[in-house]
Amino acid sequence: MTIQNADALKASGVRIFVVAVGNAISGIDEIVKVASNPPEDNLLRVANMDGLWNLIKLTVKMVAPGKYNLVDYEPACN
């Protein structure tokens, strides 16, 4: 249902970004189909959870500069 739901969202104008964590290739076909086209602009991969946290901080900084104050912390899943 993931791809069908993503297709419905995209058809309604939603842009879907996908962030893959790790280097596994299992499921990559589904990940590419979920991301908006072209996937190379909407699919990102980070090596680990630290990379994901850095991506989140960068995104907030770029999208809402000065609006949020992110605090460095160790995510619970580390």
| Tens-digit pLDDT profile for residues 43-65 | 999 999 999 999 988 888 888 77
Look at the chain and count its residues.
78
CB atoms closer than 10 angstroms to residue 11: 8
Token pair, residue 10, equals 């995209």
Label residue 34 exposed, middle or buried (CB < 10 Å: 0-12, 13-18, 19+): buried
Domain residue ranges in the chain = 2-63
pTM recorded for the entire structure: 0.73
| Tens-digit pLDDT profile for residues 3-33 | 999 999 999 999 999 999 998 888 889 999 9
